[in-house]
Amino acid sequence: MNRRTQRAGRLTNALVDGEALPAGRVPAGRVPDDEDLAAFRIAIALRAGRPAADLPSEEFVTRLRQELAADVDIARRPPAISRRTVLAGAVAAAAGVAGAMADRALFQHPGAERAVPRALDPVQGQWVAVASEADLADGTAHRFETAGLVGFLAPAGSGLTAVSGVCTHQGCLLRGIDTTRRLECPCHMSMFAYDGTLVGSRLHPSPPALPRLQVRRRDDGTIEVLVPPPV
């Protein structure tokens, strides 16, 4: 067998053995020829023909139903915290802030390389109180909302970290998972650490890290983040 045929054979075996197909473009010289592709299509059709194989599991149907219900609920919430408003607010705020990087950070093209987290660092921002020390006592992330932002605060060593709560892939609102101390995107299950770095994703290419926010702790224990001014 030549390399093309070997690759096609590996695809077929991955398919029939229930393994994930390899991701990424096929290297030059190993692109399956028409006959191998046709054979692979036959493999797909045969695999789909296993009795009852093409029925979705109850668990999957239920889980997706819950995710969609949550998404519909989010879409119908008041404008200040709807997904679109969060994004639109961020854009509008960024447009009025010289040098602001919010738009680039939030709307980096999905195909971009995984990047070091950029800071959401508005020149004309304002400090807004979003939590108290007590909110972070258990070590898990604290979700907050301002007029134009949704984010998460979390302890980081002796300091604090604050990141955007909007997934950098398609703008879905993240949710905090206390047990694993991660931020999860309900749309495509990408996982981010509390500091915004990507720790897992099924997407190819992977979404960029979450933008970081400036954060400070006042003497009275109030925690503030620097956000763009309201427009």
Q: Binding residues for other proteins, per CB under 8 A?
A: 1, 5, 9, 11-13, 15-18, 20-26, 31-32, 35-57, 60-61, 64-65, 67-69, 71-72, 75, 187-188, 202, 204
What is residue 59's three-state secondary structure?
helix
Helices (H), 25-99: 34-48, 58-75, 83-95
| 42 versus 80: smaller Cβ distance to other proteins | 42
Q: Are 182 and 201 in contact (CB under 8 A)?
A: no
Of 25 and 219, which has the nearer Cβ to other proteins?
A: 25
Q: Nearest approach, Cβ of 88 to other proteins (angstroms)? A: 14
Q: Which is nearer to other proteins, 24 or 99 (CB)?
A: 24
- β-pairing, 119-120 with 212-213? parallel
Shortest CB 38 distance to other proteins, Å: 4
Q: How far is the CB of 116 from other proteins (least distance, A)?
A: 24
Nearer to other proteins (CB atom), residue 28 or residue 116: 28
Least spacing, CB of residue 136 vs other proteins, in Å? 32
Neighbours of 12 (CB within 10 A): 19
C-beta of 52 vs 116, nearer to other proteins: 52
CB 172 within 8 A of CB 166: yes
Q: Where are the alpha helices (DSSP H) in the chain?
A: 3-16, 34-48, 58-75, 83-95, 102-106
Distance, CA of 58 to CA of 74 (rounded, Å): 24
CB of residue 84 to other proteins, shortest distance in Å: 8
